[in-house]
Amino acid sequence: MSDYLAPTQDMAFVLRHIAKLDEICTLGDFEEITADDLDAVLEEAGRFASEVIAPTNRIGDTQGSSRNPDGSITTPEGFQTAYKSYVQAGWGAAPFEAEWGGGNQPWVLGCAISEMLTAANLAFSLCPMLNQGAIHLLSSHGTDEQKARWLPKLISGEWSGTMNLTEPQAGSDVGSLTTKAVRQDDGSYRLSGQKIFITWGEHDLTDNIVHLVLARTPDAAPGTKGISCFIAPKFKVNPDGSLGERNDIHCVSIEHKMGIHASPTCVLQYGESSDGAVAEIVGEEQQGMRYMFTMMNNARLGVGIQGLAVSERALQQAMAFAQERRQGRTLTSEPGQQVPIVAHPNVKRMLLTMKSVIEAMRCLLYYSAAFVDWADHSPSSQDAALAQERVDLLTPLCKAWCTDWANEITSLNIQIHGGMGYVEETGAAQHYRDVRIAAIYEGTNGIQALDLIGRKLPIRGGAAIVELLTEIAEVGTVLTGFAGRGQRDGGSTQPDNHAESLANMWPALAQALEATTSATQWLAENPGEPAMAGATPYLKLLASLVAGWLMAKSALAAHAELAQLDGTGAETQKKSSLLKSKILTAEFFCTQILPTATALLPATTSGDRPLTAIDETLRAN
């Protein structure tokens, strides 16, 4: 398996030009942060990820985590040391409030740090990712006393958090859960029941594990409306903050999975040997699902980052292999002379597909994360509300589109390796196996599509999606202005070598915009089963359009920077190469990838008749 090198230059470019990080840093909470500080953070986080975390990736896959007879978990060799270094370096605390020990850095910068950590080792990164979700939930809905008790240790990483939702009979239908929560005279609760698929539900990396658990009180309403949210720690916490006796929460088994072997996916039993595990409620009874969505939406963005991160790792491996592996001839090579396979057009196409989509993922995810910062820190309540709407609208796209593509990109990595990609020793298969879960957990991608059309398109009577499509249309004026400027740049004597590339982006963007606008209107006019039948192709169509738009904006920013470059030194040449690459990958995405998404319009608007009719065919077989 190839080494991981964080793409900090591309990350910094997207943070500045797509996420507009400089503008975020003008907010009162971040005003002490400078651009130089941010570059230093990226470089150091990249070094940490590649040198400390990445070496554990292959070990984690081959050894896996194991359950001991007493229910405890032993993580793979090197994981405890790596996690201790992670806590000491303070990476997990970076995007959280200084009041509770956080680094008070923008959330979008925290997402960049998460990308590097995840690319280094997906299985390892799941523990910090879920911890971040727990912090968000408690920060948003916990009492002052709960924040003081739980947040400092969670933010530091000394303790970890989990999300306990589903059960054997429930699956994605969380409203079917049966775990009971019985209120006690002292105001605490006792939990009894079983939870499955609890990522890092038991492990040996932290002193305590803080479980956030969905359960039902005896008189609760049926379905999701009757669910409450509880805090149930592995070890009870004494009034002075020290750890007390073990709570009645035990790991009865771990899953043997296709990938992410180092991440213990636990079955947890609550109240197996007592009247229940001791817990405290978050907020009010029967409001738990609303609270948990704070954590889930955070996690869904995090899962999108997983798709990006593992794809980046796969691309780096594919690039290294394609440059080293010699096989076959080109039309111009000498007889008997083998060439690196990167010289073959089909391999180039696969690599460019991987690279352009990865850059589009990064644009989409960082752009969305930037709105989290605006929603949380904007001085204007109206601006904050609009930013939150944009986050809500884009979250299903980030989670589903990025993880669907991650499956394709990691598969292309195997394809580029040829037969050796199918052999475990190269490590290419691990990326494919590891990332396959990302399209499933935190709400399957089909659920993301239903959420998009059922909850997000109707935001403010449909105004939120209309505003987004209007913004996308505005880039057309800029791109079409480059038509015919390939020979002369705005009347100057110097040709604009990239004008044709920029102008080429708009026709496909315009077609995708027209298709998406038509699909959006059709969905609004055909609610219910017809719209649900077209939800998945619509999500792919909309996400591809937004990604293409952001890639075009990226190319325009690169073009503007190129025009300002001065000098001929090595650093200037390096910067020039990066900027030219940004323009070319954007052109490839818009002209080669985006047109296939436009073809999803008929699938979106065909209604549910074909799906209903197929029932007879299925029964016939």
Q: What is the DSSP string of 423-446?
A: SGGGSHHHHHHHHGGGGTSSS-HH
Of the residues 442, 471, 500, 529, only one is catalytic, namely 442
CA distance 430 to 592: 28
- List the one residue out of 376, 357, 410, 433 whose CA is nearest residue 593: 357
Task: Please tell me whether residue 193 adopts helix, strand or coil conformation.
Answer: strand
DSSP 498: T
- List the one residue out of 191, 123, 202 whose CA is nearest residue 162: 202
- Please say whether the beta carbons of 609 and 380 come within 8 A: no
Beta-carbon count within 10 A of 432 CB: 22
List alpha helices for 246-380, DSSP H: 288-324, 345-377
Four-point Cα dihedral 423, 427, 428, 430, nearest 10: 100
Task: Please tell me whether residue 575 adopts helix, strand or coil conformation.
Answer: helix
Strands 208-216, 159-164: pairing is: parallel
Strands 235-237, 189-199: pairing is: unpaired
| Residue 48 host element (H or E) | helix 35-48
Q: What is the DSSP string of 240-273?
A: TS-EEEEPSEEEEEE---SS-TTS-EEEEEESSS
Determine whether 442 is an active site residue.
Answer: yes
Query: Per the structure block, which two tokens stand in for 236?
Result: 């009870």
Measured at the CA of 305, the angle between CA 299 and CA 309, to 5 degrees, comes to 140
CA distance 18 to 257: 37
Task: Please tell me whether residue 325 adopts helix, strand or coil conformation.
Answer: coil
HEC string of 440-457? Answer: CCCCCHHHHHHHHHHHHC
- Please say whether the beta carbons of 113 and 128 come within 8 A: no
Looking at the annotation, which residues are catalytic?
A: 442
